[in-house]
Structure 1
């Protein structure tokens, strides 16, 4: 679109640029961002003109300028003009407008991401002090606090940082679109880091033009629903893009930084405390398409990606290590590797390192073939397969030791160093695939197995104490319950099949391939014991040895479950049969906390508070039993599902909750936002490690919050809970209001994942998955799950305690990281909300009385929550202390507003009986564009 200086004449080469996104208040450091956005917008404008014609281009430009004028000047005449233009669009015109504004947001996102990378590099080049969230910053803080090598070594020896990618569907873009966006990002990075000649500048612009043209001509939407195998492939693309390359780089940089600060670290190699996890192919909670076959395929594809990477790196390493034995010494280990190598080429007779690498390549290729995997390049000769990743790593380490010993440390620190680290980190499996299933399914399967083995057991009708007693008795027996001579229900057959596949994966790839079994909706000791019993059926629990082959992890999700979590774990640990199993698991128990369902159950404030209290309760139980607690945080992308900056979120945990280990879900469009760009991916991975390091070594001994803080939060939570439940679950007609005023029905029909939107065919809020619940409210710009109830809570608190109450809340915001982070996230969510646009969605509700009654309550609580956030934080306006984010959000609105308007209009037409497929396509396109503009909405 044209420059923000709309009074200037349009140049001959009209540009559809996005400069308004950054022009307002842009300082010198943002001129480069503005330049990138101008360039991308100009190329998009050229594309639109050439592909769709001058009239379409002019229409888009008119809408853009009017939307900016309305947002900038709050001019009612501009709003009326915008409404008039948008309402008059034909279906085809509407789709072109939607596509154009959607791509505006996507291109702006790419430019902003690249700007973050640029600023990080600029700080590094200038030798600036380490910034918060980096490992350098964390190490400097530790040195200031007197934590030396012993404390750090103890942390690293027991540390675990594990981001877990899930297939939870809020990413609406196809991989084809993401690939082109990555290409644009790569070209922008090249332009930024290279002194270009005029020819190179033209080449870069031509590459950008091709990528944008391809984007414009590529369908944004999937025509068919994703299959599980497609989700696996999408997840694997981030390994090529980021994880396989960047994780070894983080280790190398950390080791070098430690050695630079203390020579005692010089010859030390850190344990591989980063581990990648995945739910893709193993999470069958509510997803009937995750089967034993799907798990097998996921594991095979993952292993193929890991081994393919190693083989390519070995091939390149062999080309590099042309060292001649007549000029360098060779260790006995490497000499033995060379002697065993099938490579007998006379050209490499005096090149033992090459011979050794050839033998390692041949052995790994044999491993790939034994696993049924494709091999990038078949070796000329055969060699025995590796039995596990440790054996492969040992041979690579032999190369490393020999190179260091002969004075070639520089070569050892080249390609070999990241390859060794990758093998140690990713093994033969790449990422651990968690199994997840609902506790109700386990109950039915166990009940059937028991009834067939011991008729009359009546497991389903037993109370909890009787169930536990029966399960404990069965766990002590090595006898399996299932028989090959009996027929079982399809559900039981499917569950046993996937467990057998997990057991086979342990034999094929190692135990790290399937490390965890997560139990959704866990609310009793029997829920855990049922899973242990099922694992016994396939040999993953061996009672005579007291051995459990993977972690069994209860997931506490609802408010009631969180409140009961400590008591449940206390009772579980009191059972000798389970305590014995933990002895074989390093006396560590993992517990998963669900942010999404607890929010949908009790609202944002109560969810956050009950999660915090649950952690405190769990820590006390684990301390009494002498066990180590490892928390698995089930966070989503949006604030309403536990999202927000990871660094602040981890440091806001209760002191002692992060005991050197953390697992955390990465979901939906957040995966692309965090890890689609390798530089940003590295920064996000480093942030997780830095926060875990600080939370463990600097915050573990922090005193508990002042009792008056806890009392205040309890009062706030109680009021917020009443307000939220009163609206969502106790207001007649609220379900109807939600389904009619949001795009929830249309979201359910989007082909953005293999999982159904609801656990059942019910339209009840209780049965709806948390993702479409949050996504629906984000699309209509209300963001209800991220703030509703806070205004009512603060008003009630002040009414009871007066000015002293407000002063206390302000003190809590200043001194308590938990409360400060909660307010910061709410500040951001309220900034992205827009009550005027939300009112247009309310007009879709057919019952006028219902519409006015509920929307009136929504508007009142929205206004009260903004007042409360400003009063407690002491700000005069939202995001006052984060001007960069405030400007980004404010300047995005003109590009999102038309999409919201068109979405409402198309929804009205569709629900009014217009069956034209272009109307449905237009609705789905607006969902994509609005999500892109808001970024963390799912």
Structure 2
């Protein structure tokens, strides 16, 4: 479809439908909300025209009250603002549902990056065998995290699910009923969700979206590329799971919670098999076959409801095999394909559904180890060196009892003890990685290895990959030397041999960007991957990279297919692994059509990278030097901003940062470390990036980029950068992702801040860099507007920004009242928090 055709189709399927169904809102019997639909357009117009005229949010909201309402008291006014927020929240859900429903008609099976398109290309370029060969040495893994970047409670998510179906069927009556339900369903959790609640929320997607999606996609790949001699591996598409296992900065994730979540994952996949089998048995009603399947059904039922009954993947597969034999020998293999599909699902999901990861911060492990050494080693904890500590840990035969300790040490040891029983129930595929965030030295990895030994595991029983997560600039700089040292240590070398000489290494884009700025973080990670690929190859280790990429570009997100397709041959490409969370789960993997399409995009990106030649993937020496120069210039500019005395105070006083922790959306605190003083390094990446996003400033997604481009322009070298943009897919992807961040920025919203005595100068620094970056990126790309090459995303962003503009005005209005210490502070704080929800949910297409 050409750009114009696609735009027209989007207009019909999304924009027009939204106008039609949005009009239903106006007549809904909402409590005290009957006239909101009429008032909202006025607030939108006041906002749009007001910001163009340089007015402040306070002036805009006051004018709205004066011109369009009779309200006099502060209480009446804030009540109306709350109702408007509730109304807009529901508009966002409606828009999400309409856009989701249009997805299959806006994307086709033969789009770039789909399995069919990959097959077509492989056929034309005589690369079918090479593609099959790559499929043998490749997998994608999407790891679902509980990071709170999306605010729909489960009840609302289910309405969204049903609303999408009703819109697909154009059922006005049902849509009307669901909108009424939406009007009366609370959008706010009364209390913070527990880690178990977060896990159950994502398990809902596993059962009702991914069980079928991944099963059907595997079948499609098998039918497209399979031959008599080649069947794609069932672990080609994998899922990972962090809720309940990720204790980094989350005191509510305990050893008991991890066990509970492992149990829920186990039970959920058995329930999916049980439901699938029920459908199968309606077709496979033949003598012999039906009896075997009935036994299997009984076994699954007992394993779900009678806890003492344990069923393994092998048990299920053996029963299916038995049924397949009878079917082939006695019933002409009728419906054989249905049984084969079921068998494939069991091979894909095992008895674990998704692999539960354990994650903890290296500094917490160090505290635990220090306590153990002080209590049990007999050495003087005041004078002992790190080397002596490690030496004792790796040589001692001591086996600890968790009950000899308290608090975090007891819980950490208990969790390590529990690994064995969780692996017995869910299979080793169900839990096999221990991730260490903030890794900066070999002790961070060896501490975890030592914890297993201290819990009585013999070396050959440690069936766990120990995964360092390098995320700060310092950590990334040290990564190569850390891994080299580990690969050469006899004790770790032996452990890797036991793990088939495969080492997974995680790299954190979110904290990297927070620490080093957008361009520097992305380039640093690219270079680190190259160095780690080389050092791993030199030691005959197969390295797998796991990317901590978030939704928006400021957290490493953006166009995922383009990002992975642009990695050159200097970076190991055995597996694509990345984290997804919050609004990225609902917007990119939220229903079967989208999930299937986006899993395909990931899969084909990695395969294309190896199979098809493309000079734009591999950087020349000159291109590397130029990116390096731009990254350093941008890093210097971003570092100066971070060092500005107003940086943290600006976020604290002028943004929504302080309110993230007060919303009941995630179980995890918004900052690491205790104490009241807010330090930059303790800021978690999500509230950090989210606060810039709420201000519509998106600083981590562009800041420093424009400055770097200007410096080269001043040296009359802009032509070099243009050639780099044309010649390097990697650099082009960085530019386009940064443009996406800028397209969702809107500085007129906060231009009132330039008059602020304390922060005026700081705001101007941000605004100037935005204008410079935008101007130079348009010049670099030859675009007339940001995101020119992506008309659908651009249109979607435009509509969403229109929906939430009144919400942004309300939020800023409330922040101004709080700063001025005017009126009812509690009511204004509540307004700020409530407007967080709709703003974040409306930004879902940031990935």
Normalised by the length of structure 2, the TM-score is 0.93
Give the CA deviation at 1:883: 2.5
Judged with a 3 Å threshold, the aligned counterparts in structure 2 of structure 1 residues 173 and 271 are, in CA distance, closer, same or farther, namely closer
Output one character per residue of 1:819-868: Cα deviation in whole Å (capped at 9) or x when no partner.
Answer: 0110010111111101111324667xxxx333111011111111111122
Contact 2:47/2:809, CA 8 A, preserved across alignment:
no
* C-alpha distance in 2 between matches for 1:387 and 1:52: 54
Contact 2:26/2:35, CA 8 A, preserved across alignment:
no
Give the CA deviation at 1:53: 5.8
- The residue aligned with 1:570 is 484
* C-alpha distance in 1 between matches for 2:342 and 2:5: 46
Give the CA deviation at 1:76: 7.5
Give the CA deviation at 1:592: 0.1
Output one character per residue of 1:854-894: Cα deviation in whole Å (capped at 9) or x when no partner.
Answer: 01111111111112211221223212222232233233333
Q: Which stretch of structure 1 is more off in the superposition, 431-440 or 137-146?
A: 137-146
* C-alpha distance in 1 between matches for 2:575 and 2:242: 19
CA RMSD in angstroms comes to 2.7
Give the CA deviation at 1:64: 3.9
- The residue aligned with 2:139 is 160
Give the CA deviation at 1:896: 1.9
Match for 1:757 among 670, 676, 681? 670
Match for 2:361 among 435, 438, 443? 438
- The residue aligned with 1:39 is 20
Give the CA deviation at 1:70: 7.0
Match for 2:417 among 500, 505, 510? 500
Q: Which stretch of structure 1 is more off in the superposition, 553-562 or 295-304?
A: 295-304
Give the CA deviation at 1:401: 4.4
Match for 2:434 among 517, 538, 555? 517
Correspondence 1:376-387 to 2 at 5 A: 387=311
Match for 1:818 among 720, 726, 730? 730
Judged with a 3 Å threshold, the aligned counterparts in structure 2 of structure 1 residues 775 and 55 are, in CA distance, closer, same or farther, namely same
Contact 1:220/1:925, CA 8 A, preserved across alignment:
no
Give the CA deviation at 1:925: 2.4
Contact 2:517/2:638, CA 8 A, preserved across alignment:
yes
- The residue aligned with 2:178 is 211
Output one character per residue of 1:301-350: Cα deviation in whole Å (capped at 9) or x when no partner.
Answer: 11111111111222332232122xxxxxxxxxxxxxxxxxxxxxxxxxxx
Judged with a 3 Å threshold, the aligned counterparts in structure 2 of structure 1 residues 390 and 163 are, in CA distance, closer, same or farther, namely same
Output one character per residue of 1:791-814: Cα deviation in whole Å (capped at 9) or x when no partner.
Answer: 1111122223x1xx2111111111
Contact 1:165/1:667, CA 8 A, preserved across alignment:
yes
Runs of 5+ consecutive residues of structure 2 not aligned to the other structure: 72-76
- The residue aligned with 1:109 is 96
- The residue aligned with 1:138 is 118
Give the CA deviation at 1:457: 5.4
User: Does 2:491 correspond to 1:542?
Assistant: no
- The residue aligned with 2:749 is 837
User: Does 2:816 correspond to 1:926?
Assistant: no
Runs of 5+ consecutive residues of structure 1 not aligned to the other structure: 1-21, 125-129, 192-203, 324-350, 373-384
- The residue aligned with 1:719 is 633
Give the CA deviation at 1:67: 5.0
Contact 1:656/1:701, CA 8 A, preserved across alignment:
no
Judged with a 3 Å threshold, the aligned counterparts in structure 2 of structure 1 residues 913 and 666 are, in CA distance, closer, same or farther, namely same
- The residue aligned with 1:243 is 210
Give the CA deviation at 1:115: 1.6
Q: Secondary structure of 2:468's partner? A: strand
Give the CA deviation at 1:409: 4.5
* C-alpha distance in 2 between matches for 1:674 and 1:704: 29
Judged with a 3 Å threshold, the aligned counterparts in structure 2 of structure 1 residues 457 and 371 are, in CA distance, closer, same or farther, namely farther
Contact 1:774/1:937, CA 8 A, preserved across alignment:
no
Q: Secondary structure of 1:665's partner? A: strand
Correspondence 1:696-775 to 2 at 5 A: 696-698=610-612, 704-728=618-642, 730-760=643-673, 761=675, 762-775=677-690
* C-alpha distance in 2 between matches for 1:750 and 1:177: 17
Contact 2:753/2:760, CA 8 A, preserved across alignment:
no
- The residue aligned with 1:169 is 148
Q: Secondary structure of 1:284's partner? A: coil
Give the CA deviation at 1:222: 1.3
Judged with a 3 Å threshold, the aligned counterparts in structure 2 of structure 1 residues 371 and 701 are, in CA distance, closer, same or farther, namely farther
Match for 2:816 among 908, 918, 938? 908
- The residue aligned with 1:313 is 276
Correspondence 1:398-797 to 2 at 5 A: 398-404=322-328, 408-409=332-333, 411-414=335-338, 416-456=339-379, 458=381, 461-463=384-386, 465-474=387-396, 479-483=397-401, 487-539=404-456, 541-543=457-459, 545=460, 547-698=461-612, 704-728=618-642, 730-760=643-673, 761=675, 762-797=677-712
Judged with a 3 Å threshold, the aligned counterparts in structure 2 of structure 1 residues 26 and 592 are, in CA distance, closer, same or farther, namely closer
* C-alpha distance in 2 between matches for 1:643 and 1:600: 13
* C-alpha distance in 1 between matches for 2:505 and 2:382: 26
Equivalenced residues, count:
833
Contact 1:656/1:700, CA 8 A, preserved across alignment:
no
Contact 1:453/1:481, CA 8 A, preserved across alignment:
no
* C-alpha distance in 2 between matches for 1:696 and 1:548: 33
* C-alpha distance in 1 between matches for 2:835 and 2:263: 37
Q: Secondary structure of 1:849's partner? A: coil
Q: Secondary structure of 2:429's partner? A: helix
Q: Secondary structure of 2:234's partner? A: coil
Output one character per residue of 1:426-472: Cα deviation in whole Å (capped at 9) or x when no partner.
Answer: 11121111000111111122222233332115398514x54554444
Match for 2:780 among 853, 872, 876? 872
* C-alpha distance in 2 between matches for 1:703 and 1:110: 37
* C-alpha distance in 2 between matches for 1:719 and 1:595: 19
Judged with a 3 Å threshold, the aligned counterparts in structure 2 of structure 1 residues 703 and 163 are, in CA distance, closer, same or farther, namely closer
Judged with a 3 Å threshold, the aligned counterparts in structure 2 of structure 1 residues 866 and 272 are, in CA distance, closer, same or farther, namely same
Contact 2:61/2:810, CA 8 A, preserved across alignment:
no
- The residue aligned with 1:347 is none
Q: Secondary structure of 1:592's partner? A: strand
- The residue aligned with 2:303 is 367
Output one character per residue of 1:29-86: Cα deviation in whole Å (capped at 9) or x when no partner.
Answer: 63232342133212222216x6546543321233345556779xx5779997776105
- The residue aligned with 1:344 is none
Give the CA deviation at 1:219: 1.5
Match for 1:891 among 778, 785, 799? 799
Q: Which stretch of structure 1 is more off in the superposition, 691-700 or 708-717?
A: 691-700
- The residue aligned with 2:74 is none
Q: Secondary structure of 1:47's partner? A: coil
Judged with a 3 Å threshold, the aligned counterparts in structure 2 of structure 1 residues 238 and 700 are, in CA distance, closer, same or farther, namely farther
* C-alpha distance in 2 between matches for 1:77 and 1:791: 27
